[in-house]
């Protein structure tokens, strides 16, 4: 790892943060130490960075806004890469070309300002564009798959290519990227429609109100824990078991929305993981439904 860091510094790849607790960069506010987080300045530097990491056999992972991740309490055994510098936005008629590190909430609000409709669903999703593409983030019967025209990616063999929507296998909370986590999204072209600015802004406001009422936004979490099973709601199954308010250490099943597990104060990753496993097993035992976790466990 030390050789790799020396080379990264020598090649002026971008900012390097050292010895960071992942509680700083995850919305659950938990997670062990990351020895290094690297912020490549641009795609060319990213390619050089990956070459260095591969040559030195250093494991790496892209970290978006950490809003769908549960890192373990252990030290992360590699390097994390944040694409904060990939944050250009360009409006081209009814389309917007945006970097993978751009926050999707900010993009949704910016599109509203440009009287463009289609991305209102994302106005409460606290991730980056890259993270939203990865898991095909969505809400209110829409998702990234409905609006993305194409995505510029870095392939595992370090070519930069553009993948069109039909190649990206967008389905409920999944995409090509989830099945190919060694591809890195660099930027995407999103296709929207002209709309009425105040109607778009009103819809965003109304949905924000609904989220505040129905979701425990006052606590750290990573959104819905489980995918909804066919013709059912994970939250309802968990609520019917009487699990609202159930705790393991500092982790708690939200009293507002049973499909949210929150860090109610001082939770460890283990507390959260244990509570997720417990809820999963009880739902299986009672209803014979094998709930699938929507969040990603890292380094467990």
Ligand X SMILES: Cc1cc2nc3c(=O)[nH]c(=O)nc-3n(C[C@H](O)[C@H](O)[C@H](O)COP(=O)(O)OP(=O)(O)OC[C@H]3O[C@@H](n4cnc5c(N)ncnc54)[C@H](O)[C@@H]3O)c2cc1C
The footprint of ligand X (CB under 6 A) covers 27, 61-69, 83, 100, 124-128, 130-132, 134-135, 137-139, 177, 181, 184-185, 215, 217, 221-223, 296
Is 173 assigned a catalytic role? yes
Is 206 assigned a catalytic role? no
Q: How far is the CB of 149 from ligand X (least distance, A)?
A: 17
Strands 160-164, 89-92: pairing is: unpaired
Q: Which is nearer to ligand X, 136 or 268 (CB)?
A: 136
Q: Are 260 and 220 in contact (CB under 8 A)?
A: no
Q: How far is the CB of 230 from ligand X (least distance, A)?
A: 18
Tell me which DSSP letter residue 75 carries.
Answer: P
Q: Which is nearer to ligand X, 117 or 254 (CB)?
A: 254
Q: How far is the CB of 223 from ligand X (least distance, A)?
A: 3
Q: Which of 67, 72, 268, 294 is catalytic?
A: 294
Question: CA 236, 294, 189, 16: dihedral to nearest 10 degrees?
Answer: 130
Q: Which of 173, 191, 207, 227 is catalytic?
A: 173
Q: Comparing C-alpha atoms, which of 85, 75, 60, 70 is closest to residue 25?
A: 70
Q: Are 81 and 40 in contact (CB under 8 A)?
A: yes
Q: Which is nearer to ligand X, 161 or 284 (CB)?
A: 161
Q: How far apart are CA 57 and CA 52, in angstroms?
A: 9
Q: Which is nearer to ligand X, 1 or 139 (CB)?
A: 139
Q: How far apart are CA 285 and CA 164, in angstroms?
A: 42
Q: Which is nearer to ligand X, 242 or 300 (CB)?
A: 300
Q: Which of 224, 254, 268, 269 is catalytic?
A: 224
Q: How far is the CB of 174 from ligand X (least distance, A)?
A: 11
Is 6 assigned a catalytic role? no
Q: How far is the CB of 288 from ligand X (least distance, A)?
A: 26
Q: Comparing C-alpha atoms, which of 29, 32, 30, 48 is closest to residue 40?
A: 48
208: phi then psi, degrees, rounded to nearest 5: -65, -45
The residues annotated as belonging to the active site are: 173, 224, 294
């Amino acid at each position: 790892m030390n050789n790799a860091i020396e080379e990264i510094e020598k090649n002026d790849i971008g900012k390097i943060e050292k010895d960071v607790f992942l509680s700083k960069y995850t919305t659950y506010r938990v997670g062990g130490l990351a020895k290094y987080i690297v912020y490549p300045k641009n795609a060319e530097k990213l390619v050089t960075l990956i070459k260095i990491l591969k040559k030195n056999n250093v494991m790496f992972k892209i970290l978006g806004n950490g809003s769908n991740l549960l890192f373990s309490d252990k030290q992360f055994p590699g390097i994390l890469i944040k694409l904060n510098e990939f944050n250009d936005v360009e409006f081209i008629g009814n389309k917007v070309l945006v970097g993978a590190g751009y926050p999707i909430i900010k993009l949704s609000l910016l599109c509203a300002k440009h009287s463009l409709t289609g991305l209102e669903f994302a106005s409460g999703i606290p991730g980056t564009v890259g993270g939203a593409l990865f898991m095909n983030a969505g809400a209110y019967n829409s998702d990234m798959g409905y609006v993305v025209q194409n995505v510029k990616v870095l392939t595992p063999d370090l070519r930069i290519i553009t993948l069109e929507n039909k190649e990206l296998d967008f389905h409920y909370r999944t995409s090509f990227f989830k099945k190919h986590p060694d591809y890195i999204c660099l930027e995407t072209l999103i296709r929207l429609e002209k709309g009425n600015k105040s109607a778009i802004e009103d819809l965003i406001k109304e949905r924000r109100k609904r989220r505040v009422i129905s979701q425990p936004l006052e606590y750290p979490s990573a959104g819905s824990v489980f995918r909804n099973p066919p013709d059912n709601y994970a939250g309802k199954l968990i609520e019917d078991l009487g699990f609202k308010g159930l705790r393991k250490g500092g982790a708690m099943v939200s009293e507002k929305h049973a499909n949210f597990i929150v860090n109610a104060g001082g939770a460890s990753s283990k507390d959260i993981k244990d509570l997720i496993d417990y809820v999963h097993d009880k739902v299986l035992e009672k209803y014979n439904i094998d709930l699938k976790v929507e969040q990603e466990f890292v380094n467990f």
